[in-house]
Amino acid sequence: MANDKTQGAKAVRRPRAETPKGFRDYFGAEVTARKAMLDKIAEVYHRYGFDPLETSAVETVEALGKFLPDVDRPNEGVFGWQDEDADWLALRYDLTAPLARVAAQYRNDLPSPYRRFAMGPVWRNEKPGPGRFRQFYQCDADTVGSASVAADAEICAMLSDALEAVGIERGDYVIKVNNRKVLNGVLELAAPLPSFPEGDNLRGTIEAVWDEFKRNGVLRTIDKFDKIGPAGVLELLTEGRLDQSGARIDGVGLGKPVAEEIIAFMTARGSDNRVTLANLRALIGKSEVGMEGIDELEQIINLLETQGYGPDRIVIDPSVVRGLGYYTGPVYEAELTFEILDEKGRKRSFGSVAGGGRYDDLVKRFTGQAVPATGVSIGVDRLLAALAAKGRLAGDTAGPVVVTVMDRDRMADYMGMVGELRSAGIRAEVYLGNPKNFGNQLKYADKRQSPIAIIQGGNEASSGVVILKDLILGAKIAQSATLEEWKDQPAQVEVPRGDLVAAVRKMLGE
């Protein structure tokens, strides 16, 4: 027989037991901590009248808008494949694209405005790096179909409440608000570039080029404000600058007065929101769109103050430029202000954990009609890291009480104990491995971070008692005490079998 089997066996290469590159697994407390955080955020969103929406992970590439007609495969950045009926499908890369599809698909059925929140994984087909994964969670809330700044103000208030709900204390965060329209006002006031020929018939073209130029040059440059500061941005907006290695980086080529006006906008934050608004008015009061933006900022601040969200939480900050290229109106960013140590041991402010703004073309791709929308996305992993840094991470890491097996034939007794504990709401389990080696059972309990091991051998059974071993106290004693002290085993008690649940409760400190 053995011979037969050997002959029959083929040399098969075994599959590798590996997560695909850039993906990871989440165990125990990692799952519960994230869930606890998202549950608290969902509660706030729900109270604000937002409804959950769960779309599937898979969308048509057409709906995602990532299809490039001149290449065979969909755009890089998404995981895509061709369906049997030739449709390209792909995993969603964010939660906004599916919302756009839903808002268009169900536009006759959804309430308008439509407040929705969504939480779930998204996928990016990008080069993975340390701490950068190809699947990660997003947590979004958006209001679709409202042009009112009250919708933007509401998102800011909700974001503030959500941060406090998960355990970021007031004073440890600030919601910074800015407005794309104010930047547009700055750019409008800037004179056309001298190298552009003037002429009525070329005006449209020039405007288009200038518009493109603004988008690509100015926005990309001011996005570096945090890194290189006002002086660096000024150089890059004009003639360029030398980087740290001495290499020349080309500038955008703006005139110095224009560039200075942009810098003045970005550094217009005053001692309080009223001062900031006055600074902005002085800078760009002559631009219609600029004034519109300033008025919107003022309305947002007023609406929030009425509800008690004062300048300790809501700050107009024109240096918030992240996403100004994407958004069309107010933008907002939640920044955590407490300090942490970076990888080099230097103190730095924790930074941004959420951002969003107004984008008014959400469903236009599908329907041709512009629908105003505003929303926020919380960086789930960043916020979890912040909570960990503050020691505020929720999630039950307590292991179960472990009932050990001294006598294999009395498994029913041990399961009876575990059943009683569970019925009393106590997390508990019986050891289900091979019970022969008792040391292995205690090692198992240790690995499970078990607070208590229950022991009942034959002697204990016939005396009608059980032994409770306090593993947390035991570990402490083992760390600190001498062998002599350890011998007394004070972390162990013997109680009548009938008192099991009460004794466990007592040892757990309940």
Residues of this chain, 86-125, that bind a copy of itself according to CB under 8 A: 87, 89, 91, 101-102, 104-106, 111-113, 115, 121, 123
Instruction: Considering only residues 305 through 334, tell me which ones interact with a copy of itself, judged by CB under 8 A.
Output: 306-308
Question: Residue 406 gets which letter from DSSP?
Answer: S
In the complex, least distance from residue 427 CB atom to a copy of itself, rounded to whole angstroms:
5
> What CA–CA distances, in Å, run from 444 to 31, 185, 395?
21, 66, 21
Q: Is residue 75 at the binding interface for a copy of itself, with CB under 8 A as the rule?
A: no
- Which among 42-50, 240-248, 333-341, 386-394 is the span making contact with a copy of itself, rule CB under 8 A? 42-50
Instruction: Considering only residues 10 through 29, tell me which ones interact with a copy of itself, judged by CB under 8 A.
Output: 14-21, 23-28
Are the C-beta atoms of 180 and 327 separated by less than 8 Å?
Answer: yes
Alpha-carbon dihedral 188, 191, 197, 201, rounded to 10 degrees: 30
Q: Is residue 134 at the binding interface for a copy of itself, with CB under 8 A as the rule?
A: yes
Q: How many of the chain's residues bind a copy of itself (CB under 8 A)?
A: 104
Question: Residue 12 gets which letter from DSSP?
Answer: P
487 backbone dihedrals φ, ψ, rounded to 5°? -60, -30
In the complex, least distance from residue 356 CB atom to a copy of itself, rounded to whole angstroms:
16
Q: Is residue 210 at the binding interface for a copy of itself, with CB under 8 A as the rule?
A: no
Q: Where are the beta strands (DSSP E) in 309-451?
A: 314-316, 330-341, 347-358, 373-379, 401-403, 428-430
Q: Is residue 62 at the binding interface for a copy of itself, with CB under 8 A as the rule?
A: yes
CA 308-314-317 angle, to 5 degrees, is 155
Q: Within 10 Å of residue 358's Cβ, how many Cβ atoms? A: 25
Instruction: Considering only residues 249 through 278, tell me which ones interact with a copy of itself, judged by CB under 8 A.
Output: none
Instruction: Considering only residues 431 through 450, tell me which ones interact with a copy of itself, judged by CB under 8 A.
Output: 432-434, 444, 447-448
Residues 96 and 285: their CA atoms lie apart, in Å, by 34
Select the residue interacting with a copy of itself from 96, 138, 146, 456 (CB under 8 A).
Answer: 146
Select the residue interacting with a copy of itself from 151, 168, 174, 262 (CB under 8 A).
Answer: 151
- The string over 14-39, giving b where at least 16 C-beta atoms fall within 10 Å of a residue's C-beta and e elsewhere, is eeeeeeeebeeeeeebeebbbebbbe
Select the residue interacting with a copy of itself from 40, 57, 189, 267 (CB under 8 A).
Answer: 57
In the complex, least distance from residue 333 CB atom to a copy of itself, rounded to whole angstroms:
21
Q: Is the Cβ of residue 69 or residue 345 nearer to a copy of itself in the bound state? A: 69
Instruction: Considering only residues 410 through 429, tell me which ones interact with a copy of itself, judged by CB under 8 A.
Output: 411-413, 415-416, 419, 422, 425-429
Q: Is the Cβ of residue 31 or residue 388 nearer to a copy of itself in the bound state? A: 31
Beta-carbon contacts of residue 368 (< 8 Å; ≥ 6 apart): none
Are the C-beta atoms of 380 and 388 separated by less than 8 Å?
Answer: no
